[in-house]
Structure 1
Amino acid sequence: MTPFEVVAILFAGCAAGAINAVVGSGTLITFPTLLAFGVPPVTANVSNTVGLVPGTLSGAIGYRSELGGQRPRLLRLGPASLIGAAIGAGLLLWLPSSAFDAIVPALVGLGVLLVVIGPRVQRSVAARAESRGGIPDHGGWWVWPAILLLGVYGGYFGAAQGVLLTAVLGIGLVDTLQRHNATKNVLSLIVNTVAALVFIAVADVDWAVAGVLAVGSVIGGQLGATVGRRLPPAVLRGVIVVVGVVALLALLVD
């Protein structure tokens, strides 16, 4: 890599780490950057996943105070992300991309819609739960398989994974948006780590690229967590919608 490429990839990693901590979709910055510098698509995807794992961990640590009391929830939903990620990583390595890529814009669009209507649906869910004498902690039966499917998506590519996770958590679980964001960061960390381990074992990782991305994403993860934790729910939801729409447009144009 030339010095210019190193600096560009470093900044892309920093931006992706910050966006992933707050919303998700950081891959839409780093992946096109790697392609622009001539990295083959599959190698770019694999190296990007490996390189962004430290940044995802950094963002999760930055949101650690919002994880208080969420251990049972994470123990239940975490395995869904783990299993889904392993399946998704396998799909990337063994199947053509066209079939799965065809539904990515639809998934992102659905995620944005769910984030927009989430507060109204969540209030309705909370009211029904209160009338039954309690508020659901783990959500309905559909939340676990939804997290599993998003794990498949995240293991395969992962762009806008955070938007989709936040949407599912906001609809299915009654909690604050900031706590959903903390949960999203942990589930994303599980997905990215599992996929990265699979890629390291059997795929061609460009370690120079992954290393530069890792440094940038760690810095960005802390910056994103610092900013994101201070955003009120309405502003954070607006950021999620904007990033989701940009991700959708980028995928459609691509």
Structure 2
Amino acid sequence: MTPWEAVAVFAAGVAAGGINSVVGSGSLITFPTLLAFGYPPIVANVSNNVGLVPGGVTGVLGYREELGGQRGLLVRLGIASVIGSVAGGLLLLNLPESAFKIIVPVLIGLSLVLVLVQPYLGKWLAGRRRDRHPHGGPLLWLGVLGAGVYGGYFGAAQGIVLIGLLGIFLDESLQKINAAKVVLALLVNSTAAVLFVFVAPLDWWAVAMVALGSMVGGYLGARLGRRLPPALLRGVIVVVGIVAIVNLLMD
């Protein structure tokens, strides 16, 4: 990795950490950046996953006020996130790289659709909040399990999936739901990262640059990200995601 590439990956990490705290699709920034610098898709994916974990930690610190009173919910759903993440990580490591190259463009495309429909989803969720099970019931647990599998395998926009699920099944403010999302996404990434550190091909320079950037971005995103124009943020994510799809299809 050249010095200029290191700066670019660090900057992508800052953006990804902030986006993950606010929306939940930061991998659509860092993953394409690593692909653009010539990293193989599997190496880029696992290095990106491990590197974004510190950003999740600082994001949680930034949302500590909104996390008050959510321990029981997070313990229950956190178990689903961990189980799903292990399953998704094992799928990534055992399926051939050719399968990853086919599956991931589809997953990125679906993620971009979720990014675009998020404002409409939020309005729809606001109209559906009534009396809810305090912990969401078994359907929410299974949904979070599925999101964990997705996050362990690839993970871009898993935060948006989690916001949708939590908003449907829980009667909580959007800020508390977003805080819970940050914790659950951190559990997914951390669990997969532990697996990847021992058995997956990592590039530690890429991990370090993404980690340093995501730590800065994760905290700033949690504290200041609510002031960013949502339309601009979604536009950047969509453009970068399209670039990632093109890179994968042309590889």
CA distance in 2, matches of 1:58, 1:197: 18
- Measured against aligned partners, the alpha-carbon deviations of 1:41-64 in whole angstroms (never above 9, x if no partner) come to 111111111111001111111101
Hey, what does 1:212 align to over in structure 2? 209
Q: Is the 8 A contact 1:83 1:148 kept in 2?
A: yes
1:67 is paired with a residue whose SS is coil
> Match for 2:166 among 156, 159, 169?
169
Match runs of 1:4-153 below 5 Å: 4-95=4-95, 96-97=99-100, 100-101=103-104, 104=107, 105-106=109-110, 109=113, 113=117, 116-126=120-130, 129=131, 135-153=132-150
1:66 is paired with a residue whose SS is coil
- Measured against aligned partners, the alpha-carbon deviations of 1:23-47 in whole angstroms (never above 9, x if no partner) come to 1111111111111111111111111
Measured after TM superposition, the shift of residue 244 of structure 1 is 7.2
Q: Is the 8 A contact 1:112 1:167 kept in 2?
A: no
- Measured against aligned partners, the alpha-carbon deviations of 1:56-78 in whole angstroms (never above 9, x if no partner) come to 11111110100010011101100
CA distance in 2, matches of 1:140, 1:16: 31
CA distance in 2, matches of 1:179, 1:91: 31
CA distance in 2, matches of 1:164, 1:240: 17
Hey, what does 1:182 align to over in structure 2? 179
Q: Is the 8 A contact 1:9 1:212 kept in 2?
A: yes
1:24 is paired with a residue whose SS is coil
- Measured against aligned partners, the alpha-carbon deviations of 1:154-212 in whole angstroms (never above 9, x if no partner) come to 00011111111111111121111111110000000000000000100101111111011
User: Quick one: structure 1 residues 215 and 84, their matched pair in 2 at CA, closer, same or farther if it must change by over 3 Å?
Assistant: same
Measured after TM superposition, the shift of residue 20 of structure 1 is 0.6
Q: Is the 8 A contact 2:31 2:244 kept in 1?
A: no
User: Quick one: structure 1 residues 21 and 125, their matched pair in 2 at CA, closer, same or farther if it must change by over 3 Å?
Assistant: closer
Give the alignment's TM-score, normalised by structure 1: 0.85
Q: Which amino acid aligns with 1:212?
A: M
User: Quick one: structure 1 residues 3 and 80, their matched pair in 2 at CA, closer, same or farther if it must change by over 3 Å?
Assistant: same
Measured after TM superposition, the shift of residue 2 of structure 1 is 1.1
User: Which sections of structure 1, spanning at least 5 residues, go unmatched?
Assistant: 130-134
How many correspondences in the alignment? 243
Q: Is the 8 A contact 1:115 1:167 kept in 2?
A: no
User: Quick one: structure 1 residues 14 and 111, their matched pair in 2 at CA, closer, same or farther if it must change by over 3 Å?
Assistant: closer
Percent identity of equivalent pairs:
49
User: Quick one: structure 1 residues 190 and 173, their matched pair in 2 at CA, closer, same or farther if it must change by over 3 Å?
Assistant: same
Measured after TM superposition, the shift of residue 139 of structure 1 is 1.8
Measured after TM superposition, the shift of residue 220 of structure 1 is 0.6
Measured after TM superposition, the shift of residue 90 of structure 1 is 0.6
Q: Is the 8 A contact 1:50 1:193 kept in 2?
A: yes
CA distance in 1, matches of 2:164, 2:61: 21
Q: Which amino acid aligns with 2:154?
A: F
CA distance in 2, matches of 1:217, 1:244: 16
User: Quick one: structure 1 residues 8 and 108, their matched pair in 2 at CA, closer, same or farther if it must change by over 3 Å?
Assistant: closer
Say what the alpha-carbon RMSD is for the aligned residues: 2.5
Measured after TM superposition, the shift of residue 136 of structure 1 is 2.5
Give the alignment's TM-score, normalised by structure 2: 0.86
- Greater shift, 87-96 or 99-108, is seen at 99-108
User: Which sections of structure 2, spanning at least 5 residues, go unmatched?
Assistant: none
